[in-house]
Structure 1
Amino acid sequence: MKLRTTIYVYTSVLFIVLLLLINGFIYFMFDRMSTDTQMERAEAEANSISTGVRNAADIVAPDDLLRSFVPAEGMLRMVRMSGDNPPAVTSLSERRLAQINPAFYPNKHTEVLKIEGVRYVFVSMPVIWADGEVVNLQVTESLASVDNNLKVLQVVLISVSLVALLAVFASSRLLGSIIIRPISSMTQTMRIIEDGGGFKTLDLQNQSKDELYEMGETFNRMMGRLKRNYEKQEQFVSNASHELKTPLTVIESYASLLKRRGMSRPDLFEESVEAIHSEAIRMREMTEQLLMMARETESFSIALEQHDLAGMVNDMARSYGTAYQREIEVETPSSEPCYAYTDINKAKQLLVILLDNARKYSEDSILIRVQPDASYVTISVTDYGPGIPADELPKVFDRFYRVDQARSRKQGGTGLGLALASEIAAQIKAEIGLESTYGKGTTAYIQFPVHHLA
């Protein structure tokens, strides 16, 4: 069942059920209140008649006395315990009531009778007659006026219900159309995208800012993100294929050269093996970084907790210096810990990337500074290499970008390290930047927040 039909059916059925319950309650309450009112009126009338009968019992004959108090649409009779009852007195329209067999009630009795499909209020009132005998003064009065009012109420309720149902049918169809319109538009847009129509967005014209509008906005944002990711993927694949093609070409060329002249030229053999070896190492590093970047773009669980970054820097500097036989100086403000919120494993990964760049582009010692303040703990890595020209600084975080292509290739750079570092920093809510003076050196820094960021 389609959503539009579901909304239409369920809305209509629910309204019909509620309407039947409400109409039934109204009809029942009106019938109950009207009947109770008539019964109270009949009881009051019976009390009034019994008073009049007792006062005039010695003066007027019983038949004439009852005839003077008979209801306009009913019957009045006196019932003795002995069964010697005078004839019942009825109105002209209710003569059939006289055929009802009388019954004596020792106490006051009130009920609703149904005779030949017509309802009557019956009241039996005990009265002490002039001779001291207790008799029943019984009043039977028609409820035809109440039944007529109920019939009118039925017509009114049915008419109102039909009009309300027509309004509900129309409004439910309108509501279904309003709800389905953006969903249908989204479905049509998805089909266009599926058929190769590119990354289309919805034309949002509703300004009410309701949930459907928010759904459309979310869809448009998702399409925009998919489009950006697709474009980045295309660019990434293009750049990766271009970067991998160069070392493969070098390896193929030197391998062909070895195949032709390697046996007769020992000097050429050594040169070729060295070139193939260096290009293979660069390809391995590039592949590892490509795989790492692909994993970093996936959704990982980041645990941002308080960590002592000064202790982490000291440990990393000691192990890194030992591994690469490099002198690494560490400056911290004091022996006290420098706490900040971060994922410690990601922070170590960032520091390793910056140390790798410093190691590749400088033969001198490397300086690491830890500088805390009220908002951030800043870790900076300074090398004293050739530096970066000012016009090249904005590009260093782009993938595969290298400042000096020839020198970077010789030193093993792939142009992926800082791009990967930028993505990792964004994941752990850190800030990364680069400062450089051409010919003097470069300082890369990372700022870790001291307070937890939502």
Structure 2
Amino acid sequence: MPSRIPTPIRNFFRLGVSPTSLQFRLTLELVTLSAIGVSAVAFWAGWQMEQNLLSSHKQLLEYVAMRFPEQVEMYSEGKTIEVSLERTIDKLSTSGVSIWVKEPDGKILRKSSGMNMPSIDLVNTISQTAAPVKPTIVQYGDRYLVLCGNPLTVNGMLVGKVYLSQDITSDRNQLTTGIHSLIAIGTLAICLLTIAISQRIRKTLQPLAQMSQIASNVSADDLSAVKLELQQAPDEILGLAIAFNEMTVRLSGAWEQQRQFVGNVSHELRTPLSVVLGYLQSLLRRGDNLNPHQQNAVSTAIAETDRTIRMLQDLLDLARADSGNLHFRHSPVFLNTLVAETIEMSQKVSNRQITMIPATDDIVALADQDRLTQVLINLVDNAIKYSSGSIDLILEQTEDRAIIHVQDRGIGISLEHQNRIFERFYRAQDSSTRSRDGTGLGLAIAKSLIEGMNGKITLRSKPNEGSIFTIALPIWKPSSVSNE
């Protein structure tokens, strides 16, 4: 911003208001219109002041110029032309008016005396130029003069040329000072208008900001509880708030129906699929008369059926968590022992190196041991799928939190996918993960389970460097409730 912009205006632009926001645009447009209006009034007032000043001086010189030949003729009776000129100049040289008469050959016949008369250099300069017939403002150096020059004829005889001038430098300076004051007042008015308009628009748009904040924080679980209460908002915004409340009610109903549908379908499909899985496993065990192609087909069917059953179980767990029917048995859990057992189970089904980096002391968390084991196995299984190096489980403890880090050195997760990695059915669609097994529900379930234990799960990752999933759980204290 240029330094000449007033401080209030600069402060407004430093408030962090986005140039694309409605508040910024409305403020800018209204301030621009106000500035144009104030500037137009100030310009007109300054112009009017200048015209009034100049008009009064011009009228005086026009009057003197008109009376000068008459006065000379009146005083010329029985007198020489020099005497009549001198008496006329003395009589009319008032109010700062300077008069001098020059003969055609350039000699000055008579001139005003005393303070009224400009310097001889200025007189010579003016005399050598074509002085306007009508009173006109001219500038000589730092002086401003109202000047006119007319031929002087007395009794039908050309005497020379009479010059009339009035120094208005002082009045001009006062006018300039007044115009500067007017500009300063106009600038201050624009600054005050900017602040007033900005505050008023911000207050008017506050309900929209409230709606935006509520909409950004709303989740599927609290749709039914979201309701905008706006009493003093404009009618247009009140209508928008009513539509917003009606929309959340409809979304809440649709979301509840979807959850019930998923739960019911998952429950109804799990039983027949378990029966199908049992028959397929029995067929494979007793399928001595099956050829290799048939055995491979049955094995594939078993694997897919088992995968579908696990996905249905995951959906049931999520449905129970959504409905609040997923119960947790909170109790003291020795994390050192639990993590060591998890590592032992994972190493039995893989040939990967999994290392535990324990804290100095044993860490006891308040959690559901079975649910926490499920989460850890899920995270370790993901680390095995998406990395080829060693995997570390790191234990830490803060003042009120037990921390478990599951760190791998694999392909990592790009930033655009990290924000959605805990969403249901979400899988990063890239060449490194597309072919891997998974339903996209594991991390969503892990998040629900950890949050159900009053904990938090987060992710830090860099592509081609690996990922770190961090679980933070409450520390167990003897006064903690052991069952919920």
With the length of structure 1 as denominator, give the TM-score of the two structures: 0.46
With the length of structure 2 as denominator, give the TM-score of the two structures: 0.44
